[in-house]
Amino acid sequence: NGGSVTATGAGANVALTPVSVPTPGTGGFVLNADGTIQVLANTPAGDYQIEYLICDLINGANNCATATATVRVAAPPIVANPD
């Protein structure tokens, strides 16, 4: 309907559910209830796709769709210190 999406609190009008969240050897990701994605410490650099289900809480629970967020984790800079 073109309205704002609110995922948390008393005025929530959508629900977000993780479907497919990558699990690298270290680090990882958390899909927060407010729709933000947390990148955990030690997650290797690279591009990751996080698939989630978004459901409309106003017009019925059967009004859902999957969506994909792409997260790019950059490699930390290499710092050379003199010996």
**Per-residue pLDDT reduced to its tens digit, 38-50:** 999 999 999 999 9
Q: If you average pLDDT over every residue of the chain, what do you get? A: 86
pLDDT at 1 over 60: no
Kindly report the pTM of this predicted structure: 0.76
Residue 29 has, within 13 A of its CA and on its CB side, a CA count of: 26
Question: What is the per-residue pLDDT for 54?
Answer: 87
- Band of the pLDDT at 52, cuts 50, 70, 90? very high
Question: What is the per-residue pLDDT for 37?
Answer: 93
pLDDT at 29 over 90: yes
